Chains A and B, each alone.
Chain A
Amino acid sequence: MAAIDTGVKRFNIRMAGIGGQGVVTASHILSNGVIIGKGESTLVPFFGSEKRMAPVESYVRIASGKIYEIGEIIYPNIIMIFHPQVITHGKSYTMPFYWGLKKDGVVLINSDAPVPMIPDQVRELEENNAKICYIPATKIANEVGGTDLATNMAMCGAIAGIIQMPDLKSLEQSVKERFLGKGFVVSGGTASLDNVIEKKFAKKAELVAKNFAVVQAAHEYAIEQGWNQWQKDRVTASDKLQKAGVN
């Protein structure tokens, strides 16, 4: 994979969702996918009570060079909202949900329809020139994967479509490593495993296949929406401003 060929030196991604959605898992899969694709990435999760419906955040750094920084991302340029309640119920460690978003950033929100926001929030997002992308991630997960538990996979696929990394092959490998474990596949293969393990393996292989199908579907969705053109748009907008003599 071309590590970062867009001219952007780094992506700082903040993921916010609620307990049970697999936000932390999503960050591991995305980050590891970048590593598999020969990029550089780190991640760190941030949560309080480890229970369903409690706020969860996770942070992924992707860069073209060495990453020294550690800890949560306070000034992201990409925000992923895994559940509308993050916005509507304030279920977030970062309030409001877009706090710290850098200018010209992207907000990817899992929702079938635009989430109602108060006028000040709309104004602030507009002033920051934020691009807001609504994706029906849970719907895609249900339709393609047969379970809403794969919402996190849809979010991974969509963000990979938007920032154009990691590539789908690396992402697939990352999903495999997450659910099969690195040693499991490499060490033996199904042939040498006994029947019990074979059964387990078959189940897990099916799990990986379904998960990745969701990733792919959401990836396609993001491309169809033209969200992958985000950086192009941004460069053009900034060029225009420069030409007009505005910094």
Chain B
Amino acid sequence: MSEGLGEEVKTNPQGDVITAAPAPTKEAKKGAAAQRVVDPDYLFLQAPREKTFITGSEAAKEAIRRANVDVAISYPITPQSETMQQVGYLYAEGYVKDYYRGEEEYGVMSAIAGASRSGVRCLSATAGPGLMRGLEVISSWPGGRLPAVLLIMCRVINAPLAIQPDNVELSYMLNTGCLLFHAENQQDFYDYALAAFMIGEKPEVTLPVAVAVDGFFVTHARGWVSLPAADIKLPPRDCYHEAVPMMDNENPPIRISRDAPIQKSNFISYQMHASWQQEIWAAQERSRKWIERWLGGLVEVVNPKAKIMIVASGAAVSQSREAVRQAAEQGIEVGLVKIKSVRPFPAEEVRAALDHAEKILVPEFNYVGWLAKEVKSTIRGSERVISGPRVFGGMSMPTELILEYIMGTPNRR
């Protein structure tokens, strides 16, 4: 039954329903201002939590509510739109100081770069083709040492068109220099997104963080999420303790542009550029200790002694957990390595977890098998890796399929 029931509906001149959130009232702002700033350790690790049954988009909203975000900018694309709609409500409630819709993703990612350069805490989100459109700018963020959080609600990017989850887009993110976390479920989407702000803004890191989640299966689905109280939030961004100076009256844009050595085509500038890129990847490594502290490590290992091991990230972890359970019912012990952080890639942890394994499966929600490639290039004895099973184009991965791979290796060798 329709929710509206006679309520007044505002439309634009074309007759489309206007769904924009209203500007926050004084009353709403007061509510948000009453939030208490707490230590990140307290917010992430110690604050009492309560379980609630919400969608992934709502979980992201709750993360943003506690993240002390200054600016959120987005452009609608399914399945990201729902999450940013929730962020719109937060703006109306006064929890996000500014929020607007960019002209398209290239513009959104550029605007976020400008906002981050000015020293405020920034958020954007996108999905599939939108990510592709913004990718040129996204790739420039790490070099600019611009902390920002980008939520990626994965969906198909290839033709023929579909809007269901497929995480091939993450293979394009692997080499941008952004940190990249891959959330398994609604709880992860809350935890990773919130911690991402603090990790990216650490002085020794000073990098953008992308938090990916498989669209629909998590964003539009409900699950249990443990949340701390809504009246606490993270400290604001401390931009003057980061790796590069912010743009302000002392450091106007013209000076940053003039001083940029990479614009000169000489040998010194090449050296500068090379060392700057190395520095970004070194900064990624320096983020490890914060990921370990606030996300409980870069990986999670289940049944570490099993001879058959599964390595997965994102929604494939959930499917693998069920396959592990079903295999156990049949008396077969299977282990699981959940990759939480794809960048930095947990090479040492993966090597250690798989050293003893005789058979390694890498189930993935994409055709190219980017995670299998990462695993193969990391471990000793890559012939142990069976790159699959894989599904793509938006379909789910039946646990029956993973079980078939556990029992044998269909269509391979």
Chain A residues within CB distance 8 Å of chain B: 22, 24, 28, 31-32, 35, 41-46, 48, 50, 68-75, 141, 145, 147, 149-150, 152-153, 179, 200, 203-204, 206-207, 210-211, 214
Is B315 in contact with A71, judged by CB distance below 8 angstroms?
yes
A48-B163, A70-B185, A71-B319 are known contacts. Are A179 and B3 too (CB-CB below 8 A)? yes
B192 within 8 A of A: no
B63-71, B102-110, B353-361, B391-399: which one contacts chain A?
Answer: B391-399
In this complex, the member of A69, A73, A203 whose beta carbon has the largest number of chain B beta carbons within 10 angstroms is A69
Complex Cα distance, B78 from A50, in Å, reads 10
**Contacts A145-B1, A150-B1: A68 and B217 contacting too (C-beta < 8 A)?**
no
Check if B220 sits within 8 Å of A45, measured CB to CB.
yes
The residues of A that contact B222 with a CB separation of less than 8 Å are: 28, 31-32, 35, 41-43
Contact A42/B162 with A22-B1, A68-B319, A71-B396 known, Cβ cut-off 8 Å: no
A48 lies within 8 A of B216 (CB)? no
Chain B contact residue count (CB 8 A cutoff): 33
Q: How far is the CA of A68 from the CA of B315 in the complex (A)?
A: 10
- 0/1 interface trace, chain B 1-39, chain A, CB 8 Å (1 if under): 111011100000000000000000000000000000000
Expressed in whole angstroms, the minimum distance between the Cβ of B157 and any Cβ of chain A is 16
Point out the residue from A32, A43, A75, A210 that lies within 8 Å of B398, measured CB to CB.
Answer: A75
Contact A70-B1, Cβ < 8 Å, known A32-B222, A42-B221, A43-B222: no
The answer to whether B321 and A68 have CB atoms under 8 Å apart is: yes
Please determine whether A72 and B321 come into contact, CB atoms closer than 8 angstroms: no
In the bound complex, do residue A207 and residue B221 qualify as a contact, i.e. CB atoms below 8 Å apart?
no
- Identify the closest chain B residue to A145 (Cβ): B1
Closest 9 pairs (CB-CB, A-B)? A71-B396, A68-B321, A44-B221, A68-B322, A70-B318, A150-B1, A149-B1, A72-B396, A69-B322
Residue pair B322, A44 in contact (C-beta under 8 Å): no
Inter-chain CA distance A71–B399, complex, in Å, is 11
CB-CB under 8 A for A147 and B185, given A31-B222, A71-B396, A203-B6: no
Report how far A181 CA is from B150 CA in the complex, Å: 29
**A43 pairs with B221, CB closer than 8 A:** yes
Q: Does B241 contact A (CB under 8 A)?
A: no
Contact A207-B1, Cβ < 8 Å, known A42-B223, A71-B315: yes
Smallest Cβ distance from A77 to chain B, in angstroms? 14
Q: Which residues of B contact A179 (CB under 8 A)?
A: 3
- Closest-by-CB residue of A relative to B397 is A71
Give the interface centre of B2, B220, B321 by most chain A CB atoms within 10 Å. Answer: B220
Q: Shortest Cβ distance from A150 into chain B, in angstroms?
A: 4
Q: What separation, in Å, do the CA atoms of A43 and B221 have in the docked complex?
A: 5
- Complex Cα–Cα for A204 and B3 (A): 8
B276 vs chain A, min Cβ distance (A):
40
9 sample A-B contacts, Cβ–Cβ < 8 Å, listed by A number: A42-B222, A42-B223, A69-B319, A70-B214, A70-B319, A71-B396, A203-B6, A210-B1, A211-B1
Contacts A68-B318, A71-B217: A35 and B53 contacting too (C-beta < 8 A)? yes
A170 to B325: give the CA distance in the assembly, Å: 30
Nearest B residue to A179 via CB reads B3
B51 to chain A, nearest CB (A): 10
Residue of B nearest to A206 (CB): B5
CA–CA, A214 and B214, complex, Å: 35
- Nearest to A47 among chain B residues (CB) is B163
Q: Is B113 an interface residue (CB 8 A)?
A: no
Are B216 and A149 closer than 8 Å at their CB atoms? Answer: no
**B400 within 8 Å of A (CB atoms):** yes
Q: Is B167 an interface residue (CB 8 A)?
A: no
Nearest opposing residue in chain B for A200, CB measure: B7
CB-based nearest A residue for B52: A182
B116 CB-CB contact with A under 8 Å: no
- Given A48-B162, A70-B221, A203-B6, CB of A75 within 8 Å of CB of B397: no
Contacts of A74 in B (CB 8 A): 395-396, 398
Give bound CA distance, A73 to B319, whole Å.
12
For the complex, give the distance between the alpha carbons of A74 and B318 in Å. 16
The answer to whether A75 and B400 touch across the interface, beta carbons within 8 angstroms, is: yes
CA distance A22 to B2 in the complex (A): 9
